[in-house]
Amino acid sequence: MEKISPDLPSKPLSRVGVIGAGAIGGFLGVQLAHAGVDVRVIARGQTLAAIRKHGWRLDIGGRRLVARVLAIDSEADCGFEQDEPWTPDVVVVAVKSHSLPTLAPVLARLAGPDTVIVPAINGLPWWFNAGKSAPAAPLASTDPHGELGNAVPPARIIGAVVYPSCSCPEPGITRHGAGSRLVFGNVMPDADEQRLSQWVDLLRRCGLDAHMTDAIRAEVWNKLLGNACFNPVSMLTGSATDVMIDDPAVRALFTQMMSEMLALGHAQGIAPAVSPADRIAITRRLGHVKTSMLQDAEAGRPVELAAILGAAMELAERTGVEMPCCRTVHALAALRARTLSTQTNAEAIHGDLR
């Protein structure tokens, strides 16, 4: 497998491109730009217009940060270049998982010898099986036709696990709710670590709580333990995390689901050093948090069920791990997602006929 050029790490990081100006894109991009990093963002629609008119805004710690960045229309199909050549050192991919396959051609152009890709996404990432001793087929839930896996060499990917809870109350504005920890690690074990350490150092200098790990898949699984439970159940119940956890029956469901997820992780050679009780306690300390899936459902947007729980069900099928509670929740959540999609489409058609 290809390694990042040994000459690459000697070049300091100065340019960061962000694909997606939603909650996490805004959390990272605004803070980097506000600290003086040369940041460009690819956005669309009302968000693009708002950033161009008012700047990219982040409400965090009782203050509003405003970053003036070059915002590029996603429809322009020109990468991050506008009037002059501009090659990013790092590309942060911060879009919803169901949008990722459409980005494969863009990422293929950007993943050159001078650029690394940092997917800051929910659920099981498309690169999860890369580099395993036994070749594994792409996860159909996250990379249906293997386009992402073919577009970006795994050696050019820095895996990311993003714990902050953020939302977008209106286009061009991100609101930080809780949490700050960011964890990054090379996807390939033989990838050069200097670029990774440069990236983490840059984030720290900009005031972010960034960390490095040599076990990025275990970190992904640690977050997935919570997301696979809290997200779909929140969509089914319409409840925030504290309300769900404080309900004894729902808490017991979470404990069983996480036990099944831990068993699936062990089948993948992953053993996160956390128990269901500890993982639930971590989320409870964050307080009243609306999951991203609940926010999307309430706003009539597609939900990330395939990446957050569907991919785990796919792995369970491949490895023969029994997951009755997770499978039941997934079936209910999938039906709920289809129902919401049908309702949204019907409302849109009704609105057009008025």
Active site residues: 223
* Residues 6 or more apart in contact with residue 200 via CB below 8 angstroms: 184, 210, 211, 212
User: What span, in angstroms and rounded, lies between the C-alpha atoms of 206 and 90?
Assistant: 15
User: What span, in angstroms and rounded, lies between the C-alpha atoms of 303 and 125?
Assistant: 16
Residue 281, both tokens: 């306690």
Distances (CA, A) of 123 to 13, 14, 206, 312, 338: 28, 29, 26, 9, 19
**Per-position DSSP letters for 271-328, written without gaps between them:** --S--HHHHHHHHHHT-S---HHHHHHHTTPPP-HIIIIIHHHHHHHHHT---HHHHH
User: What span, in angstroms and rounded, lies between the C-alpha atoms of 344 and 350?
Assistant: 10
DSSP-H helix ranges across the chain: 23-34, 45-54, 104-110, 147-151, 193-205, 216-237, 241-245, 248-267, 276-285, 292-298, 305, 311-319, 324-353
Say if CB 236 and CB 333 are below 8 A apart.
yes
User: What span, in angstroms and rounded, lies between the C-alpha atoms of 34 and 69?
Assistant: 9
Residue 116, both tokens: 């690394």
Question: Which phi and psi (to 5°) does residue 257 adopt?
Answer: -60, -45
66: β partners: 57
Residue of 224, 307, 311 lying closest to 261 (CA atoms)? 224
User: What span, in angstroms and rounded, lies between the C-alpha atoms of 155 and 170?
Assistant: 36
Q: Please give the angle made by the CA atoms of 37, 201 and 199, to the nearest 5 degrees.
A: 70
| Dihedral sign, Cα of residue 6, residue 9, residue 15, residue 20 | positive
